[in-house]
Amino acid sequence: MAGVSEPGRREAYLTALRVGSGVAFFAAWQLTAMSHVFSDFLLPSVPVVFERLWHDLISGDLLYGILLTLIRTFIGFVLAAVGGVILGVSIARIPVVRWFFDPLVSVGLPMPKIAFLPIFMLWFGVFDTSKVLMVAFSSIFPVIVEAWAGTQNIDKYMTWSAMSLGVNRHRFLWEIALPAALPQVFTGLQVALPIALIVDIVCEMQMGGEGMGGSIMTDMRFADSPGVFAYIIAIAIVGMILVKAMEIIRRRLLVWHQETQTA
Amino acid sequence: MSGAAALESDTRRAAAPPLTQRLVGALWRALPVIVVCIAWQIAPTVGVINPDALPPLSAVVTAWWDLLMDGSLVSNGLTSLWEAVAGLGLSIIIGVGSGVLMAWYAPVEAIVSPLMKSLYPMPKSALIPVMILWFGLGPSSKIASIFAGCLLPVVLSSYNGARGVDQTLIWSALGLGASRRRVLWEVVIPAALPEIMAGIRNALAISFILMVAAEFLVGQHGIGYLISFLGDGGVYDAMFAGVLTVSAFGFFADRVYLLFMNRMLRWRE
């Protein structure tokens, strides 16, 4: 009986800690703001920022910005996910592809892709196309690397069993290789999604075109500091939800995998 | 004497494949990069691609040389380097310190760690506008952005590393009469080092992203500013030269750090 309630109590304790630390954070912010060590411009008080957040939420501006940012991020991310998995699996399984892409990927992975932003602006303009492609270009590398490693390191007994049971190449790919690589592919996707969001926000800051990055930059240019802080909170919440959502999807998708069953 | 030397050189030759073979191997590995470079040179010159959109590689190299000679690459590069070093350095000093202490003192952990974990997924680029509000358009706002963006990854990896230290190691050291301070310095920190260094590698990549992004957005110094200035002016071969320079810097910084990391962690099996 005690064994059943133990995890529940631990969960409740952790939730309390999380809420507590959040409250402590905002309380510290508010106390600093009220002490007037910094001007209202540098550090607006918590109620002012939340009032602004509420105002933008009611007027629909906030949701519109979030939606625009999310759509761009997702399209870029999906491009990176599909392209990265195809490329990663091909690199692992086709020697010519590996020969060609191995040096390019190892040069591209640690490179600061954001530096290519002006080139994308030159090639694709300042609208959605260049933002989406920039997001895809920046977030594809971790997906490639993880899909490659995941397909390369499939348990050889599994491969041999499938082969001796007479599985053809096509079925091997879809029923053995991809499912076996899925946990690692998902790790790559979990790295790629925050990158996609960061890069999309930078693109919006640089090229305009609204979205959360565009709005926060506009507020900054108008020296509207409550607006800047309100958008930071909104961006942080969106980032948090995306990361959490990926964790939940991972657990759903990998129900059959040991990592989910032991956890 | 000479026989021994000959024998030594013989064994050495046997251990490593002959130089020509290694050279051919290296060339074969680098060939795809060379192919891309050649395609980059030929496509715009033949006219497959508009040379305004993609200046041929030779023009980019010439532009790079000119930028280097007129000093703008060096002065802007040094500004960027200073921002990255200062921001990253601060985040390492403060981040490693607070991460390890968080793991060491339970009460601190209870308050700070949930907050850290919920702030961690925040898109770091969102911090740039606030830092500009606080620190203005000069290098200090970029240093602050880099510092703020790199801090959490360093703190979190140090915290996880220090918390993951094998308890028996700590108990053994304490049992042998080491003071808590010595245990911290001689057991906890070395044992946490692999994870700390991996976190710093992450932060290194983030520092480049934030540095370039912040310089694109505001200010009149730094390699990011140089790139966007050249791009706005339509000097595309020079713009490409700037982009290549930053990319090469990011790549080599990571490689050098990786070498350093492997050297520092050589004591592991």
Q: Is residue A192 situated within a structural domain?
A: yes
Q: Burial code of B134-163, b = ≥16 C-beta within 10 A, e = fewer?
A: bbeeebebbbbbbbbbbbbbbbbbbbbbbb
User: CA B81 from chain center: how many Å?
Assistant: 11
Joined tokens for residue A155: 């348990």
Q: Which CA distances in Å does B43 have to A107, A123, A125, A169?
A: 22, 15, 21, 37
Q: How confident is the model at residue A142 (pLDDT cuts 50, 70, 90)?
A: very high
Is A156 part of a structural domain of the chain?
Answer: yes
Disruptive mutation site among A40, A96, A117, A190 for chain B (greatest number of B CBs within 10 Å): A117
pLDDT in tens, A153-186: 887 788 888 888 888 878 888 888 888 888 899 9
Q: Which residue in A103, A198, A229 is closest to B123 by CB distance? A: A198
Residue B269 has what pLDDT?
59
Q: What pLDDT does residue B86 have?
A: 95
The pLDDT value given to residue A132: 95
* No. of helices (H) and no. of strands (E), chain A: 12, 0
Q: Which residues contact B44 (CB under 8 A, 6 or more apart)?
A: B50, B51, B53, B54, B55, B56
Average pLDDT of every residue of chain A: 87
In a domain, A161, yes or no: yes
Predicted local distance difference test score (pLDDT) of residue A87:
94
- CA pair distance A189, A78, nearest whole angstrom: 10
How many domains does chain A contain in total?
1
- Structure tokens of A240? 């948090």
Average pLDDT over residues A127-136: 93
> What pLDDT is stored for residue A2 in this prediction?
46
- Cβ within 8 Å, pair B122-A236: yes
Rg value, chain B, Cα: 24
Q: Are A235 and B126 an interchain contact pair (Cβ–Cβ within 8 Å)?
A: yes
The model's pLDDT over A145-160, given as tens digits with 9 standing for 90+, comes to 999 998 888 877 888 8
What does DSSP assign to residue A214?
Answer: H
Q: Which of B164, B163, B148, B159 is nearest to B196 (CA)?
A: B159
A17 lies in some domain: no
What per-residue confidence (pLDDT) applies to A85? 94
Q: Which of residues 152-211 of B touch A (CB under 8 A)?
A: 205, 208-209
Q: Which of residues 137-156 of B touch A (CB under 8 A)?
A: none
Closest partner residue to A111 (CB to CB) among B119, B227, B250 is B250
CATH number of residue A191's parent domain: 1.10.3720.10
pLDDT, tens digit only, all 269 positions of chain B: 444 444 454 555 455 678 888 888 888 888 888 999 999 999 888 888 888 888 999 999 999 999 999 988 999 999 999 999 999 999 999 999 988 888 888 777 777 777 887 788 888 888 898 898 888 888 899 999 999 999 999 998 998 888 888 888 888 888 888 888 888 888 888 888 999 999 999 999 999 999 999 999 888 889 999 999 998 888 899 999 999 999 999 999 999 999 999 898 888 75
In the stretch 72-91 of chain B, residues with CB closer than 8 A to chain A read none
Judge whether B112 is closer than 8 Å to chain A, CB to CB: yes
User: A159 in a domain, yes or no?
Assistant: yes
Chain B contact for A9, CB < 8 A?
Answer: no
Closest CA in chain A for residue B51: A123
Is A9 part of any domain?
A: no
Of B111, B124, B216, which is closest to A117 when you measure between CB atoms?
Answer: B216
For residues A90-111, give the mean pLDDT: 89
Domains within chain B, CATH numbers bracketed: 15-54 (no CATH), 63-264 (1.10.3720.10)
List chain A residues with CB under 8 Å of B217.
205-206, 217
Residue matched to tokens 């979990």: A190
Residue among B110, B133, B243 whose CB faces A118 most closely: B243
Please indicate whether, in this complex, the C-beta atoms of A235 and B227 are within 8 angstroms of each other: no
Cβ-Cβ contacts under 8 Å, A135 against chain B: none
How much of chain A is helix, strand and coil, in % rounded to 5? Answer: 85, 0, 15
Whether A166 is in a domain gets the answer yes
Question: What distance in Å separates residue B230's CA from the closest CA in chain A?
Answer: 10
Euclidean distance between CA atoms B135 and B141, whole angstroms: 5
Residue B207 CB partners (closer than 8 Å, separation 6+)? B84, B87, B88, B91, B146, B149, B150
Q: Indicate whether A253 belongs to any domain.
A: yes
SS (H, E, C) A23-89: HHHHHHHHHHHHHCCCCCCCCCCHHHHHHHHHHHHHHCHHHHHHHHHHHHHHHHHHHHHHHHHHHHH
Domain hosting A175: range is 58-262
**Mean of pLDDT values over A52-66:** 90
Q: Which of A100, A220, A236 sits opposite B129 (nearest CB)?
A: A220
A25 reaches B (C-beta below 8 A): yes
CA distance B53 to chain A (A): 6
pLDDT tens, A193-224?
999 999 999 999 988 888 899 999 888 888 88
What confidence score (pLDDT) does residue A242 get? 92
Residue A1: is its pLDDT beyond 50?
Answer: no
